[in-house]
Structure 1
Amino acid sequence: MRVRIEEIQADCILEKDVMGKTKNPIIAANTVLDKKHIHILRAFLIKEVDIQVKMANGDFFKKTETKMDKKVFDFNTDNPSQELSFTEQYRQAVEQYKKEFQSWQSGLGVNMSNMRKLLIPLIEECEKNKDWIKSIHLYSNKDEYLYHHAIGIAMISHFLAKGLGYDKGQSLQAAIAGCLADCGMARVALSTLNKIGALNENDWIEIKKHPTYSYQMVKMLTLLKPEVKLAIYQHHERLDGSGYPRGEKGIRIHQLSQIVAIADVYHAMTTERPFKNKRSPFKILQIMEEDLFGQFDIAILKVLATGVASLSVGSNVKLSNGEKAKIVYIKPEALTRPLIKIKNNGNMVDLEKNRHLYIEQVIN
């Protein structure tokens, strides 16, 4: 996320190297900024830097008020501001989804007008810069995971639909399907939903009812196409028949259902959850392609991998063993497993052949 110097604060984390006129950075990527760093940036007349969406203390970055700040989004108007940054649009969407979810818990139905107002500005912002797909897993937090997850599924579903050639309207329907896939969680008992500690067998039985609850909440909505309602119902089905609620397999699972399923699993496994630590997107793509082989559509997974793992030759990466390396060659058939050069010893390693190693993160 790019911000002006007057907006940054102590505890911000640099996303990219801040370069001057030499080959060495003024301040390196992943540095936690303090007052001294900020003073140095001003001394070098640096006007903008790229920072991570989360600060070192775990909070989301929130820029300080300046005269140049953009207009504030008002969800209750028919003309929401189009000037908000991606991060601000994302936050607004999560907050509004939370309000909608709480209304469902109180017994109210799904308001499609509100869902469209919630998603369309965010989707339009996503269209401007598709790099968000590489970092969407960083935006979530475990305390409000349920709300972040719904927005994450929506965004990724839209990305996948566009990548498969869906038109604008169809892609928006995919986003809506993703966003409403877990609306049925509002019907799950609060004692289960808010449980502290591991879920028992009865809890899981209740949780697995949520696709059915979700479908019941949307089945009478005339603004949703039948395939969208089906995707909401089928998003936990798997091509090999191992899913739920009906154990459908193969062609009986609609492609839109498979899109939402892949978005759901990818976002869940790469983000911080109440009782699960997040894992590297590169590792999760490997798991989905290999360990869970047969469960997901290969063509849809390829679209996801192309977006998430769109690496460049020369990029610096951190490996799962902690070593740093530089990408030397990218194989079209193995996007997440390029040929790399280890920095500390110069050894060349083919990640496709050394499968115990994987990319943990791209450094810059």
Structure 2
Amino acid sequence: MQVHPKQLVSGCVLKDAVYGKTNHPIIPRQTVIDQKHMQVLLHFGIESVVVSDMLDNGERFEPQKITETQDEDEAKYTMTLPFETLYIQAVKQYKQIFTKWQSGSPVVMHEVREMIMPLFEKIDDVHLDLFLLHRFSNKEDYFYHHGISVALISAHIAQKLGYEKEWIQIGLAGLLSDCGMAKIQMTPFHKTTQLTIEEYEEIKKHPTYSYKMIENISSLSKDVKIAILEHHERLDGSGYPLGVRDDKIHLFAKIIAVSDTYHAMTSERLYRPKQSPFKVMEELLRLQHYKFDHQVLQVFVQSLMNYTIGTQVQLSNGKKGYLVFIDEHDPTRPMVRLMENDEIISLKDKPTVFIEDIDTH
């Protein structure tokens, strides 16, 4: 009989070998299934297997149905989990999915959606914390944190730009923009030094690989596919892989470009320490009109204005204080009341001092 891997139980006997993308079977025929085999089948995205009607112990195998009610109950339970738990789960799932892509498996959209949609459902509740997603990350698994974070930040910016329907597709584009890294022959994920010129040239191929991996997926719009191809293009033509300029770059790609750069610069890497979100934002603003889209950046920066007066911050000089005034024209340089003596300082007047961290609790 043919069943889904989720219906298997220990003792099931495979009648047919299970193959992935190669001529060698993942699991040979006549294998007696145990928990480890079930995990392997799910890991490789196998949709069905053929097993004997009888278990290894001689008992009849009666597969249980996967009901809609079970799926609904699972979805309801998922939505009760806190954002951080869902985020960590998504990072682990993304790592597993990416490993399958490295083995030659195609992008399966229902699998991608199941991973990221619970986080998209909570995006309105945690939009301020999107500036601080780097806190969850670690340098060893940075790449997988980066994929999930770029998806969330891209979806957030899209919402703020007024994309009431397309924001989910833009978030998916952010997630899939680096799927082509699975096709890179070298393994840059664990390097403790910066890339060589040759390695960087190889990395620059990943947007093209990403595009090729998703170009035939009907559930993704043409705009999303173009955005995935163009997410490393820059306004001045210095980007890759096409080297196109300004109005030739799709707006969706410009959104991902800001999200990708912001998270990368604020995260700790094996070869580089993390930087302050406010310092990174200042650097991005300095590069607007040259590298990054002005409209996209302004919408992203304006989200900083949502930090309420009284929010506790830590400055780069080691001092702590509270926000007392945020200038909408210069939100990364607010006025801060120092905790040590109640002195109010304006960061506009202190260019070498910046906000190092934010206490959101």
Matched position secondary structure for 1:331: coil
Question: Is 1:140 aligned with 2:137?
Answer: yes
Matched position secondary structure for 1:237: coil
**1:357 match:** 353
**2:160 match:** 163
Match of 1:183 among 175, 179, 184: 179
Aligned AA (1:319): L
**2:105 match:** 108
Question: Is 1:302 aligned with 2:307?
Answer: no
Contact 1:134–1:307, Cα closer than 8 Å, also in 2: no
Contact 2:154–2:170, Cα closer than 8 Å, also in 1: yes
Match of 2:312 among 304, 316, 321: 316
Match of 2:80 among 79, 83, 93: 83
Matched position secondary structure for 1:175: helix
Contact 1:89–1:121, Cα closer than 8 Å, also in 2: yes
Equivalent residues in 2 for 1:1-364, closer than 5 Å: 77=71, 79-80=74-75, 81-167=78-164, 169-291=165-287, 294-308=290-304, 310-363=306-359
| Structure 2 unmatched ranges of 5 or more | 1-69
The CA distance in 2 between the partners of 1:194 and 1:323, in whole Å, is 34
The CA distance in 1 between the partners of 2:112 and 2:143, in whole Å, is 16
Instruction: Name the stretch that deviates more: 305-314 or 333-342.
Output: 305-314
The CA distance in 2 between the partners of 1:97 and 1:153, in whole Å, is 13
The CA distance in 1 between the partners of 2:96 and 2:143, in whole Å, is 12
Note the C-alpha offset of 1:310: 2.8
The CA distance in 2 between the partners of 1:297 and 1:277, in whole Å, is 26
Matched position secondary structure for 1:126: coil
Contact 1:281–1:308, Cα closer than 8 Å, also in 2: no
Instruction: Name the stretch that deviates more: 200-209 or 317-326.
Output: 317-326
CA offsets per residue over residues 119-151 of structure 1, 9 Å max, x none? Answer: 111110223333322321211111111111000
- TM-score between the two structures when normalised by the length of structure 1: 0.75
Matched position secondary structure for 1:128: coil
Contact 1:271–1:279, Cα closer than 8 Å, also in 2: yes
Structure 1 or 2, whichever has the larger Rg, is 2
Note the C-alpha offset of 1:209: 0.8
Instruction: Name the stretch that deviates more: 84-93 or 151-160.
Output: 84-93
Aligned length: 288
CA offsets per residue over residues 269-292 of structure 1, 9 Å max, x none? Answer: 111112111111111000100156
- TM-score between the two structures when normalised by the length of structure 2: 0.75
Matched position secondary structure for 1:341: strand
Aligned AA (1:223): S
**2:43 match:** none
Aligned AA (2:203): I
Aligned AA (1:301): L
The CA distance in 2 between the partners of 1:362 and 1:300, in whole Å, is 23
The CA distance in 2 between the partners of 1:236 and 1:344, in whole Å, is 44
Contact 1:317–1:327, Cα closer than 8 Å, also in 2: yes
| Structure 1 unmatched ranges of 5 or more | 1-75
The CA distance in 1 between the partners of 2:334 and 2:92, in whole Å, is 39
Contact 1:238–1:248, Cα closer than 8 Å, also in 2: yes
CA offsets per residue over residues 90-143 of structure 1, 9 Å max, x none? Answer: 112111111110111001110011111111111102233333223212111111
The CA distance in 2 between the partners of 1:329 and 1:224, in whole Å, is 43
Instruction: Name the stretch that deviates more: 199-208 or 132-141.
Output: 132-141
Contact 2:325–2:336, Cα closer than 8 Å, also in 1: yes
Matched position secondary structure for 1:127: coil
The CA distance in 1 between the partners of 2:94 and 2:324, in whole Å, is 43
